[in-house]
């Protein structure tokens, strides 16, 4: 377990976001276009291959793994993968990002299989608007999923809300009050220019974290904290609540200098940076050398010098990265 994954800028990779599917039962307007084509099964890593990738990274010093999608809970037998990864010695933080709609059915099994933390996407508390933002989502199922997650014993559940001007910024305080009332944390995310979404102009809907913070401070003064979840969130506290407020601000407060993460897509592409296309094909290694952990680890180590220094996102609405968010899940 001695090796460390260090890039050319001296940053250590300690966190991997592992996408287990590009598919989803929602079509969120900032993540996908209305009509999507998904990967054929043959191009998708098997659960065994995904588990092997996770093990390789943990043996190379990675402490945190987050399962993402698309929507991870639409992947059949994902519970088995959670059990395999949850059993890895050396893994300190094991989380999942989900739209919550499948938690009613899966929360208890995930918790028992060793999953430690959940991030649940929730951009609106208005059923009609929720349906419009997700194109297919049912708010009631997500709220039931949050309840099921808490009953299953998940602690520090965090909500993720992408704020779009003219779409849901008027609900920021409602979302904070919901999180306070339910004993949840919440992070507000600046939209990232991945994929040519057909629904809106990102230049028009861009809402900075500073604007969101100002909205919240109309009611709750925010106290900055040094708390971290090994991710990009900057956390704040309110004097009268245990709820943490986070901001993920790729545009207004760039966090690339302290980047500690890489992503693996469900087709086995090791993406060194969300905002660039630098990558290595781990699927080729997995299928050319089945079961060969040394070959896989060597490919990961050799990829580190490819990691770019930073993203070059702008807020002018131009699409910087062609791939949609569902290929990496953020
Ligand atoms: S954009 Fe790239 S360099 Fe910046 S924090 Fe994200 S992954 Fe790291």
- CATH number of the domain at 50, please: 3.20.20.70
CA gap 98, 38 in Å, rounded:
18
User: Concatenated DSSP letters for 200-253?
Assistant: --HHHHB--HHHHHHHHTTTS--EE-----SSSPEEEE-TT-S-EEEEE-TTTS
Asked if 10 contacts 256 with a C-beta cutoff of 8 angstroms, the reply is: no
Provide the β-strand partners of residue 17. 66, 263
Nearest ligand 1 atom to alpha carbon 258: 5
Q: Is residue 112 part of a domain?
A: yes
- CA torsion sign, 120 to 121 to 126 to 127? negative
Mean pLDDT taken over the chain? 95
Q: Give me the number of domains the chain comprises.
A: 1
Residue of minimum CA distance from atom 4 in ligand 1: 256
**pLDDT higher than threshold 60 for residue 85:** yes
- Nearest atom, ligand 1, residue 263 CA: 7
CA of 60 to the centre of ligand 1 (A): 20
Between CA 47 and CA 234, with CA 147 as vertex, the angle to 5 degrees is 75
Q: Specify if 10 maps to a domain.
A: no
Return d(Cα 119, Cα 34) in angstroms, integer.
Answer: 24
Centroid of ligand 1 to alpha carbon of 321 (angstroms) = 13
Q: Classify residue 193: in a domain, yes or no.
A: yes
- 118 part of a folded domain: yes
On whether residue 3 sits in a domain, the answer given is no
Element (H, E) at 298: helix 293-303
Q: Which domain holds residue 157?
A: 15-328
Which residue among 308, 329, 330 is best mutated to probe the pocket of ligand 1, counting the most ligand atoms within 8 A of its Cβ? Answer: 308
pLDDT digits (tens, 9 = 90+) for 7-62: 999 999 999 999 999 999 999 999 998 888 899 999 999 999 999 999 999 999 99
| Burial (0-12, 13-18, 19+ Cβ within 10 Å), 26 | buried
Check whether 168 has a pLDDT greater than 70: yes
pLDDT per residue over 276-321, tens digit each? 999 999 999 999 999 999 999 999 999 999 999 999 998 887 777 7
* Sheet of 279-281, strand order: 223-224, 234-237, 244-248, 185-189, 158-162, 117-121, 93-98, 64-68, 15-19, 261-264, 269-271, 279-281
pTM score, whole prediction: 0.96
231 lines ligand 1 (CB under 6 A): no
Q: Does 321 sit in the ligand 1 pocket, CB within 6 Å?
A: no
Which numbered atom of ligand 1 lies nearest the CA of 232? 5
Ligand 1 touching residue 311 (CB < 6 A):
yes
Please say if the pLDDT value at position 1 is more than 60: no
Q: Quick one: what percent of the chain has pLDDT higher than 90?
A: 88
Instruction: Note the pLDDT tens digit of each residue in 217-250.
Output: 999 999 999 998 889 999 999 999 999 999 999 9
Q: Is the CB of 255 under 6 A from ligand 1?
A: yes
């Amino acid at each position: 377990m001695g090796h460390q994954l260090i890039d050319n800028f001296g940053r250590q990779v300690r966190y991997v976001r592992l996408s287990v599917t590009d598919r989803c039962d929602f079509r969120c307007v900032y993540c996908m276009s209305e009509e999507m084509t998904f990967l054929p099964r043959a191009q998708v890593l098997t659960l065994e291959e995904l588990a092997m990738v996770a093990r390789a990274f943990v043996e190379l010093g990675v402490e945190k793994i987050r399962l993402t999608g698309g929507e991870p809970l639409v992947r059949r037998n994902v519970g088995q993968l959670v059990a395999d990864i949850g059993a890895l010695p050396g893994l300190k933080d094991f989380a999942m990002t989900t739209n919550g709609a499948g938690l009613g059915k899966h929360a208890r099994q995930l918790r028992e299989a060793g999953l430690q933390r959940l991030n649940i996407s929730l951009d609106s508390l208005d059923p009609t608007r929720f349906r419009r933002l997700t194109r297919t989502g049912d708010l009631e199922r997500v709220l039931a999923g949050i309840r099921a997650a808490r009953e299953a014993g998940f602690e520090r559940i965090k909500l993720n809300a992408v704020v779009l001007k003219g779409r849901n910024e008027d609900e920021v305080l409602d979302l904070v009050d919901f999180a306070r009332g339910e004993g949840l944390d919440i992070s507000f995310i600046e939209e990232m220019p991945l994929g040519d979404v057909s629904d809106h102009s990102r230049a028009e809907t861009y809402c900075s974290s500073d604007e969101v913070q100002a909205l919240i401070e109309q009611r709750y003064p925010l106290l900055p904290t040094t708390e971290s979840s090994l991710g990009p969130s900057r956390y704040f506290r309110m004097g009268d609540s245990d709820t943490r407020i986070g901001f993920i601000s790729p545009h207004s407060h760039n966090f690339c200098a302290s980047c500690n993460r890489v992503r693996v897509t469900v087709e086995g592409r090791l993406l060194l940076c969300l905002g660039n296309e630098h990558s290595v094909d781990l699927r080729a290694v997995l299928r050319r050398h089945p079961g060969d952990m040394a070959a896989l680890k060597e490919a990961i180590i050799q990829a580190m010098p490819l990691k770019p220094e930073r993203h070059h996102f702008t807020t002018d609405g131009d699409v910087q990265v062609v791939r949609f968010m569902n290929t990496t899940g953020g």
